[in-house]
């Protein structure tokens, strides 16, 4: 592995495990900071653990940088009223890797731990055969608020490979992470819609998600709903052997109705007194408030906005692949690479680590790929998508099947 990239908004202490992993692998650790996290604090807290090869980057307005500005971001903010910079930080990691010449990069969330470094080494080795390799996420389930509620209410709910612990073959990767919840789904599905499923995504090893309370703030469920609807609806179409152009307004009108029935059914199950649920009144109320927030958001998502977002995603994807990536220079020194990209580097201790401040801008792999079909141009694989997505989510209570989570 050439580098580990960690997007963070939290306290630097949460990234000690990532620093230890980077040191064990002998690779660079790159931390992109915003919110409560600052580059100076990260360097002070992690310098010894990460060793001599570490970059910490303050990115307060990263989504306004010209290379990282996308039409999809504007649409997302118009619907949610919020910004989220996780995808932009990962995209900056992809740009930096290309400029420096790093071939293998591990994206790691600051609340995800890789207990055994050999799993990361195995993932890196598999990048000779696959364009992306995810580590299987254990510990606390990595799902949306709605699907956490579905699980608690007795529904079957598993997890999908995602950006929390994802190794990528940088020269073979032409996808980007859009600004939306489930941005990693959009990053991964790009391999298939571009007809690249001959090198399917794989999963190996193990990573651990730290526990958190998904129902602490109802606004979390409200914020996630737009991305959950889009990603789940898109994967449902692909699961049916259909293509993205089938995601038209009539489809989204139907799917939004089905999503509403799904959330309503979860709330019904949570309300029913059931000793197996083991919920105290406060926990039950918190879950119901979160579901109410998600339902309220779903009710104001226009079907036309879903088609608009997917159209913009296609245009953003084309711009990224054809204009942004080919125009990048090469600079093997990471600090100089940041300077070449137009950022302002600042050396904290040149013998140990560098702090880069971004100026505010005006085992055995299990293939995860789509089954062969006209929408992918792919050949058959040992584990087709309908089986894969059965591990992702439940059956809708009416009219069809969707994969929700």
**What is the rounded average pLDDT of the residues 100-115?**
95
pLDDT beyond 90 at 77 = no
pLDDT in tens, 130-180: 889 999 888 777 788 898 888 888 777 666 678 899 999 999 999 999 999
pLDDT in tens, 219-231: 899 999 999 999 9
Q: Is 371 or 180 the better-scoring residue by pLDDT?
A: 180
Q: Residue 102's pLDDT is what?
A: 97
Q: Residue 122's pLDDT is what?
A: 96
Q: Taking the model in full, what pTM does it have?
A: 0.82
Q: Residue 374's pLDDT is what?
A: 27
Residues 311 and 291: their CA atoms lie apart, in Å, by 29
Q: Residue 29's pLDDT is what?
A: 92
Contacts 24+ apart (CB under 8 A), 186-193: 186/231, 186/313, 187/90, 187/163, 188/132, 188/161, 188/162, 189/234, 189/235, 189/238, 190/317, 191/131, 191/132, 192/238, 192/369, 192/370, 192/376, 192/378, 193/243, 193/244, 193/375, 193/376
Q: Residue 358's pLDDT is what?
A: 46
Winning range, highest mean pLDDT, from 36-40, 295-299, 337-341: 295-299
pLDDT in tens, 29-41: 999 888 888 888 8
Q: Residue 152's pLDDT is what?
A: 82
The full set of domains in the chain, from first to last, is 3-213+314-390 (3.90.550)
**What is the rounded average pLDDT of the residues 75-100?**
89
**What is the rounded average pLDDT of the residues 192-204?**
63
* pLDDT > 70 fraction of the chain, expressed in percent and rounded: 79
* pLDDT > 90 fraction of the chain, expressed in percent and rounded: 41
């Amino acid at each position: 592995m050439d580098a580990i990239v960690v997007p963070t908004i939290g306290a630097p202490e949460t990234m000690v495990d990532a620093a230890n992993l980077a040191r064990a692998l002998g690779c660079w650790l790159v931390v992109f900071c915003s919110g409560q996290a600052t580059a100076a604090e990260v360097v002070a807290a992690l310098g010894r653990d990460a060793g001599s090869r570490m970059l910490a980057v303050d990115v307060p307005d990263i989504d306004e940088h010209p290379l990282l500005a996308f039409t999809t971001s504007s649409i997302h903010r118009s619907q949610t009223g919020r910004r989220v910079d996780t995808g932009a930080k990962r995209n900056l990691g992809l740009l930096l890797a290309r400029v420096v010449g790093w071939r293998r990069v591990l994206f790691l969330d600051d609340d995800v731990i890789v207990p055994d470094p050999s799993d990361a080494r195995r993932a890196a080795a598999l990048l000779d055969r696959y364009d992306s390799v995810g580590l299987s996420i254990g510990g606390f389930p990595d799902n949306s608020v709605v699907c956490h509620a579905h699980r608690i209410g007795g529904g079957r709910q598993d997890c999908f490979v995602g950006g929390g612990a994802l190794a990528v073959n940088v020269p073979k990767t032409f996808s980007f992470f859009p600004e939306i919840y489930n941005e990693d789904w959009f990053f991964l599905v790009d391999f298939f819609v571009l007809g690249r499923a001959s090198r399917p995504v794989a999963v190996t090893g193990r990573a651990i998600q730290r526990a958190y309370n998904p129902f602490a703030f109802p606004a979390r469920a409200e914020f996630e709903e737009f991305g959950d609807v889009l990603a789940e609806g898109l994967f449902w179409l692909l699961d049916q052997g259909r293509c993205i152009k089938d995601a038209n307004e009539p489809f989204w009108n139907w799917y939004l109705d089905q999503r509403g029935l799904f959330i309503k059914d979860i709330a019904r199950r949570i309300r029913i007194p059931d000793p197996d649920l083991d919920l105290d009144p406060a926990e039950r109320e918190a879950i119901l408030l979160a579901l109410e927030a998600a339902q309220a958001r779903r009710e104001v998502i226009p079907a036309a906005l879903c088609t608009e977002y997917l159209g913009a995603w296609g245009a953003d994807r084309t711009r990224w692949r054809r204009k942004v990536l080919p125009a990048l220079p090469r600079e093997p020194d990471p600090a100089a690479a940041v300077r070449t990209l137009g950022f302002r580097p600042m050396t904290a201790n040149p013998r140990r680590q560098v702090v880069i401040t971004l100026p505010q801008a005006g085992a055995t792999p299990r293939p995860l790929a789509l089954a062969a079909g006209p929408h992918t141009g792919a050949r058959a694989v040992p584990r087709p998508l309908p089986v894969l997505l059965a591990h992702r989510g439940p059956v809708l209570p009416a009219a069809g099947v969707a994969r929700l989570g």
